[in-house]
């Protein structure tokens, strides 16, 4: 039996991800993450934002368990990870990736493959599904990763900078998919520099600078911290991160 206090947050939501990083670093590097704590309840989209080198990728590495030196605790049950740089099995076509994914899940065959065909069509990959993803453009590779991630229907998505390689139509479809998954109760951690989009779609933010959290919460909390009432996420971000870099 799960204890209420461990699994439920203040909002009463079910915690799909709990991050508690005391310290993390690379071999022979200085500490790059310090005292990072946040949670993602069901149905919430959390934007992980911060300047270059702030520690966003290092947080994702900590969550997926590949950070070389890590002290802390990460709790989740399952996730789909969409990396910034797509990764595929060599020698397998996109369809073979989909078949392989199916073989790892206990789901209804008809529903799974009908969902797969629907996603491929939406993302305009149907005509290349029997090709090797290596022969795809970067955007097509990203879309292929999206198909595979969303087909799993996990409770948690970890998505690293999805907007750079996708065309506007694909971004639109991607955002619809996320919305649908949130309605299903999935949680999402989205790491991005696209702050205008983040402001529109994220329920809350974790703003990092120099390996620590500057502010976390809804846009109102970020505005309050930056003393910019009604300010855009972009303006608040710049003010807070500049202030942090200036040391005050
Ligand atoms: N492989 C590595 N070895 C040593 N130090 C690293 C390594 N990767 C990242 N770092 C350092 O860790 C710190 C955080 O980097 P990280 O890649 O997490 O930042 P980020 O917020 O993802 O940046 P960006 O927006 O540029 O992707 C930086 O100081 C960086 O120099």
Burial of 64 (0-12, 13-18, 19+ CB in 10 A): middle
- Please indicate whether residue 53, judged by its CB atom, sits closer than 6 Å to ligand 1: yes
**Which residue has the CA at smallest separation from atom 24 of ligand 1?**
52
Task: Say if residues 124 and 47 touch (Cβ distance below 8 Å).
Answer: no
Distance 56 CA to ligand 1 centre (A): 8
Please indicate, yes or no, whether the overall pTM of this predicted structure exceeds 0.90: yes
* Furthest-apart CA atoms within the chain: distance in Å: 58
Q: Strand pairing of 15-25 and 69-76?
A: antiparallel
> Which residue segments constitute the domains of the chain, with CATH numbers given?
4-79+192-245 (3.40.50.300), 90-153 (no CATH)
User: What is the 8-class DSSP label of residue 14?
Assistant: B
137: left (phi over 0), alpha (psi -120 to 50) or beta: beta
Q: What is the mean pLDDT of the chain?
A: 92
Atom of ligand 1 nearest to the CA of 58: 18
Atom of ligand 1 nearest to the CA of 55: 18
pLDDT tens digit sequence for 99-152: 999 999 999 999 999 999 999 999 999 999 999 999 999 999 999 999 999 999
Q: Which pLDDT value is given to residue 7?
A: 46
Average pLDDT on 171-196 reads 96
- Please indicate whether residue 133, judged by its CB atom, sits closer than 6 Å to ligand 1: no
pLDDT tens digit sequence for 35-53: 999 999 999 999 999 999 9
Q: Is the dihedral of CA 156, 103, 111, 86 positive or negative?
A: positive
pLDDT classification of 12: cutoffs 50, 70, 90: low
Give the separation between CA 31 and CA 43, rounded to whole angstroms: 32
**Which residue has the CA at smallest separation from atom 26 of ligand 1?**
52
Distance 216 CA to ligand 1 centre (A): 20
Q: Which pLDDT value is given to residue 26?
A: 97
Q: Which pLDDT value is given to residue 244?
A: 86
Strand partners, 64: none
Nearest residue to 82 via CA among 16, 139, 149, 19: 149
Radius of gyration (C-alpha) of the chain in whole angstroms: 19
- The full DSSP string for 224-248 is HHHT-TT--HHHHHHHHHHHHHTT-
pLDDT classification of 14: cutoffs 50, 70, 90: confident
- Residue 51 structure tokens: 């300047």
Cβ atoms within 10 Å, residue 142: 25
Beta sheet of 69-76, edge-to-edge order? 31-41, 15-25, 69-76
* pLDDT score of 9 more than 60: no
H helices of 123-167, in order, are: 138-151
Cα torsion through 198, 73, 22, 18, rounded to 10:
30
The complex scores an ipTM of: 0.98
* pLDDT score of 6 more than 80: no
Q: Which pLDDT value is given to residue 4?
A: 33
**Vertex 199, ends 139 and 67: CA angle to 5°?**
60
Give the separation between CA 225 and CA 206, rounded to whole angstroms: 13
């Amino acid at each position: 039996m799960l204890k209420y206090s461990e699994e439920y947050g203040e909002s009463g939501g079910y915690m799909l991800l709990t991050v508690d990083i005391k310290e993390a670093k690379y071999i022979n590097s200085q500490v790059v993450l310090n005292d990072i704590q946040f949670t993602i309840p069901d149905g919430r989209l959390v934007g992980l934002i911060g300047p270059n080198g702030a520690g966003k990728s290092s947080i994702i590495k900590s969550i997926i368990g590949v950070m070389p030196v890590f002290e802390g605790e990460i709790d989740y049950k399952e996730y789909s990870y969409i990396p910034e740089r797509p990764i595929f099995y060599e020698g397998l076509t996109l369809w073979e990736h989909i078949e392989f994914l199916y073989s790892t899940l206990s789901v209804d065959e008809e529903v799974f493959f009908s969902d797969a065909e629907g996603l491929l069509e939406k993302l305009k990959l149907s005509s290349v599904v029997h090709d090797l993803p290596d022969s795809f453009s970067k955007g097509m590779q990203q879309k292929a990763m999206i198909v595979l991630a969303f087909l799993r229907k996990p409770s948690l998505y970890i998505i690293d900078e999805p907007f750079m390689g996708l065309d506007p139509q694909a971004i639109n479809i991607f955002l619809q998919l996320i919305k649908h998954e949130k309605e299903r109760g999935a949680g999402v951690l989205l790491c991005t520099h696209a702050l205008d989009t983040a402001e529109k779609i994220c329920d809350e933010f974790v703003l990092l600078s120099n390996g620590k959290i500057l502010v976390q919460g809804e846009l109102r909390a970020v505005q309050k911290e930056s003393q910019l009432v009604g300010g855009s996420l972009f303006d608040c971000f710049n003010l807070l991160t500049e202030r942090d870099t200036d040391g005050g």
